[in-house]
Structures are given as structure tokens and as C-alpha cells.
Structure 1
Amino acid sequence: MVFFRRLILMLQFLTRIPIKYESDITTEDFGKALALVPIVGLVLGGIMGITYMLLIHIFSYKISAIIILVEYIFLTGGIHLDGLGDTFDGLFSYRSKERILEIMRDSRVGTNAVLAVIAVMLLNYTILTEIDKHYMLKVIILFPVAGRLGSIVGASLSTYARKGEGMGKSFIDCCTIKELIVGMILYVAIFLLVGLSRGYIIMIFPIITAVLLIKYFSRKIDGATGDVLGAVCELNQTFYLLAVYAVLNFRG
């Protein structure tokens, strides 16, 4: 029952999938439920994969790829892209820690946010259109799984950067190494289940990039926030696609 409640919580919070289910939840539930986000990623990837299979019978390969990325934004409500933009606006303002956190909380969108989101979406689209069509379906399914691994790694390996309350506090404070281990087991199991060619090699890269990203961001503000977790998620997806392309095209 706890598993089901927490999985539904993550689907409701991190996606726009209409799920009408109410239950008593605690602050702890948010952090503990992060262990299940690889499953949320699989749900998103499954929907995107089905859409892709339908689209390629009507549209070209490139048009199908861009529609899939638009669908991803719709399914997630752009929650992680928003975190990416806020993080880049703050961290690359080169201000004090306190000022960086203020900028990250500001609802206004700055130049760094726009550039970061555009760059990530362009990279995602370009890499997807360069990947062999025979692997495309499995690559799409695993795309959001790799991203959400970044959120677990980020929350479990960092502390909350703000002094008061915030959206990411319950995630970061209550997500421990135990949740990371559970999440990693689910992540590896999903990769093996989907069976992407050389997937056992590819799945290592999102783990490494997630650790490096959270360490880099945390050093800037002495911890992490909900926005930072979103940024790690989005960047991890792009690095995953880069790893897929590099590994599948390696001729050594």
C-alpha cells in the first residue's frame, strides 16, 4: 500500500497524467517516493514510445522526433525544464550564494534560462535524429528513466541549500542512501528489461554524470534545491543521449 501511494504521488507531482487518487501523505513520503521515479520515467518513456511508433507511419523521422520532445514537455508540464532555467539563471549570475538563491526563486525568466533550455532541447533533437532508427524506440523509452535517476542521485547526495522551507526540502531531507539503492536497482532492472543494445555500458554514464552534476551545483550554493534536482534531471537526459550515440557508433 505504501509503494502504491508513493508511486501515485510521484506520478501526480512530476507528470500531468490525470490520476484521481487522494490519500494521506507526509513530508517524508515525498523524499522516500523518489526511489520510485525510475518507474515514473518508464511510464513517460512508454507513452512517448507508443506515440513514436504511431507517428513514424505518418510523419518523417525528424518530424516524429520533435513531436516526441514536445510531448515530453506536455507530459511533465515542463517542471524539470523550469528547474533547469532557474538554476542557470542563478548559478551563472556569478553572485553570492544568497543572491543566487533569490534569483533561482524569482519567477521571471532570464537570458541564461532561455539559453539553457534552448541548448538542451536542440541537443536532444539533434542527437535523436542522428541515432540509428533501429534503436530509436528503446532509446526514447529509456530517455526519461535516465533523467529521473539524476533526481534520486541529486537528492540523496546533497543537503538542502536554503535556510527556510522550499519545494525541494522534503525531497532532499528525506531521500537517503536507502532510497538511492532502491532507485538504482529499479533503474538497472528497467535498462536490462528494455534491452537496448550495449545498454549495460550506456546505463553507467547517467550515473556518473548525475554525480558530477550534483557535486558541481552543490559546490556553488552549498547544497541543492528543487530547481537543481530538475536541472540534473534534464541535463542527465541529454548526457544519456550523447552516451547512446557515442557507444552505438563506437568502432574501436
Structure 2
Amino acid sequence: MIILKRFLLMLQFMTTIPIPVNLDVNDEDFGKGLALAPLIGLIIGGVVAGAGYILNMFFAPAISAVLVVITYILLTGGIHLDGLGDTFDGIFSNRPKERILEIMRDSRVGTYAVLVTVCNLGLNAVLVHSIISAHMYFTLILMPVAGRIGSVAGAAVSKYARSGPGLGKSFIDYCGLKELLVSAIISIIAFTAVRGVTGAFLCIFMYISAALLVKFLGRKIGGATGDVLGAVCELNQTIFLIVTYLLVFR
């Protein structure tokens, strides 16, 4: 039952799918539930891939690609995109650590947040266009899995950067090696089922990519926050699309 509870918790937190269940959860459930994030990615990927397949029946691939990206945003509520924007506003402000953390928590949107969000979504749309044009819908299934690999791997290899409380603290404090291994098993099975042996190696690469990203983004603040984990999710997802494009089209 605890696994089901944590699965539903992650589904409620990471998507806008209506789950009319009131869950009795604590900080540990958030952190340990992150092990199931790749499963949530599979659900998101299934919806996104299905949308891409249907949209491509009625629209040109370029239009379908933009609509697929919009579908993804609606399905996730833009929660990780918000973290991406906040993280870049903070780390590119060239301020001391505490000021960076204040900027990241500020609800106002800065120049770097707008720039990185526009660039990231634009690049995703172009890459998805190539994928849809080639009818490679399986890639869209794995895309959100690669992103959620970023969140769980990032949490597992990081320490919490803030001195006070925050939702990211729950994830980082309670997501450790066990959760990383569980997520890896789920992810490797998914990648291998869709892409074979190549998928397994690609999955391992995505974990390495996530670890490097979280270290890079967290170097100025001495760790990670919830925003940083969101940023790693979105960036890892884009890296997956870029690598897939290079493997298939070049």
C-alpha cells in the first residue's frame, strides 16, 4: 500500500491528472516516492506520444510538434519549467549564495528565466518535429522518463543547499542510493523495451548527464534545491532529444 500511496503522490505532484484522493503523507514519502518518478514519466510519455500520433493525422509535423510541446506543458502544469527559470535567474545573477537562493525563491520572472524557457521550449519543438516527421513516437514515450531520471538522480547525489525548510529538502534528504537503484531498474526496463540494447546504454547516459547537470547548476549554491531538480529534469529531457536526434538522423 505504501508503494501505491507514493505512486499516487508523485502522480499528483508531477502531473495535472486529477487524482481525487486525499493522501496522508510526510516528507519521507516525497523523497522515497521519487524512486517512482520514471513511472510517472512513462505515463506522461504515453499521453504525449498518443497526442503526437493523433495530431500528426490532421496537421503538418511542425504544427503537431508545437501542439505536442503544449500538451506536455498542460499535462505537467509547467512545474519543472518553473524550476528551470528560477534556477537560471539565480545562478546567472552573479550574486553571493544567499542572494542567489533568494532570487530563486522570488515569484517574479527575470530575464534569464524568460530566455532559458523560450530557448528550451523552442529547441524541444524543433527536435520533436524531426521525431514526428519520422513517425518515431516511441521516442516521445521515453522523453519524459529521461526528464524524471534527472530529478531522481539529481536528488540522490546532492545535498540540500538551503539552511531552512523547503519542498526540495524532502526530496533530497530522503532520496538516496536505494531510490536511485529502484528508479534505474524501472528506467532501464523501459528504455530497453522500447530501444533494445541501445536504449539501455542511452538510459545509463541519462543518469550520468543528470549527475553532471546537478553538479554544474549547484556549484554556486553548494548543493541543490527543488528548483534545481526541476531544471535538471527539463534539461535532461532536452539532452535526450538531442542525443536521439544525433543517433538517428546523423
Query: Which TM-score bucket, shorter chain as reference?
Result: over 0.9
Q: Hey, what does 1:66 align to over in structure 2?
A: 66
1:143 aligns with 2:172: no
Q: Hey, what does 1:13 align to over in structure 2?
A: 13
Q: Does the Cα contact within 8 Å between 1:159 and 1:173 map onto a contact in 2? A: yes
C-alpha displacement of 1:195: 3.1
**TM alignment of 1:149-228, pairs within 5 A:** 149-195=149-195, 198-228=198-228
Q: Secondary structure at the match of 1:93?
A: coil
Q: Does the Cα contact within 8 Å between 1:48 and 1:72 map onto a contact in 2? A: yes
Deviations 1:202-234 (A, max 9, x none): 323312210110111221100100000000000
Paired amino acid for 1:18: P
**TM alignment of 1:4-83, pairs within 5 A:** 4-83=4-83
Q: Secondary structure at the match of 2:219?
A: helix
Distance in 2 between residues matched to 1:32 and 1:106, nearest whole Å: 27
Q: Does the Cα contact within 8 Å between 2:46 and 2:141 map onto a contact in 1? A: yes
C-alpha displacement of 1:135: 5.0
Distance in 2 between residues matched to 1:186 and 1:47, nearest whole Å: 18
Q: Hey, what does 2:121 align to over in structure 1?
A: 121
C-alpha displacement of 1:126: 1.3
Distance in 1 between residues matched to 2:248 and 2:136, nearest whole Å: 11
Q: Secondary structure at the match of 1:198?
A: helix
Q: Secondary structure at the match of 1:195?
A: helix
Q: Hey, what does 1:240 align to over in structure 2?
A: 240
Deviations 1:84-119 (A, max 9, x none): 000000000010000000000000000000000011
Runs ≥4 residues deviating over 6 A:
none
C-alpha displacement of 1:132: 6.8
Q: Does the Cα contact within 8 Å between 1:205 and 1:240 map onto a contact in 2? A: no
> Could you say what the CA RMSD is over the residues aligned between the two structures, in angstroms?
1.4
Distance in 2 between residues matched to 1:105 and 1:169, nearest whole Å: 14
Distance in 2 between residues matched to 1:195 and 1:135, nearest whole Å: 15
Using the TM superposition, name which of 58-67 and 230-239 deviates more: 58-67
Distance in 1 between residues matched to 2:197 and 2:69, nearest whole Å: 22
Name the TM-score, length of structure 1 as normaliser.
0.95
Q: Does the Cα contact within 8 Å between 2:56 and 2:132 map onto a contact in 1? A: no
Name the TM-score, length of structure 2 as normaliser.
0.96
Distance in 1 between residues matched to 2:131 and 2:231, nearest whole Å: 24
Unmatched runs of 5 consecutive residues or more in structure 1:
none
Deviations 1:169-191 (A, max 9, x none): 10111101110010011011111
Using the TM superposition, name which of 22-31 and 104-113 deviates more: 22-31
| Pair 1:45–1:233, CA change in 2 (3 A) | same
Q: How many corresponding residue pairs?
A: 250
Paired amino acid for 2:21: Y
Using the TM superposition, name which of 202-211 and 26-35 deviates more: 202-211
Q: Does the Cα contact within 8 Å between 1:138 and 1:194 map onto a contact in 2? A: yes
Paired amino acid for 1:159: K
